[in-house]
Amino acid sequence: SQKIEQNSEALNIQEGKTATLTCNYTNYSPAYLQWYRQDPGRGPVFLLLIRENEKEKRKERLKVTFDTTLKQSLFHITASQPADSATYLCALPQSGGSYIPTFGRGTSLIVHP
């Protein structure tokens, strides 16, 4: 089955800098990939979805890229703010015909003022 890899170490950056988070997958290229934000004790909040035929997607300060050759998605937050501190999860469908996404472990982002 598909293995999803996100950096388990927290990413610490200074306010105003660009945060870049990585999601790697191991097997087949999924039809789409999603990014979510999760705050402690709360449900995930959907941020962006990128499809396999899209190289890049933007939404305000957020940008997602999808490289099917590298089997990787990058998630960027520009002009980061302390309020962006959270865990960011990527999700993509498993193989076997299911389109239900499976979540990666997530990467914790800490933005320091």
Partner 1 sequence: DTEVTQTPKHLVMGMTNKKSLKCEQHMGHRAMYWYKQKAKKPPELMFVYSYEKLSINESVPSRFSPECPNSSLLNLHLHALQPEDSALYLCASSQSEGMNTEAFFGQGTRLTVV
- Residues forming contacts to partner 1 in the complex (CB under 8 A) are 31-32, 34, 36, 41-46, 49, 89, 91, 93, 98-106
Taking the least distance from each CB to partner 1, the nearer of 31 and 70 is: 31
The residues near 56 (Cβ < 8 Å, ≥ 6 apart) are 50, 63, 64, 65, 66
Taking the least distance from each CB to partner 1, the nearer of 17 and 51 is: 51
Is residue 18 a contact partner of residue 80, using CB atoms and an 8 Å limit? yes
Please report how close the Cβ of residue 91 comes to partner 1 at its closest, in angstroms.
8
Taking the least distance from each CB to partner 1, the nearer of 20 and 94 is: 94
Chain centre distance of CA 49: 10
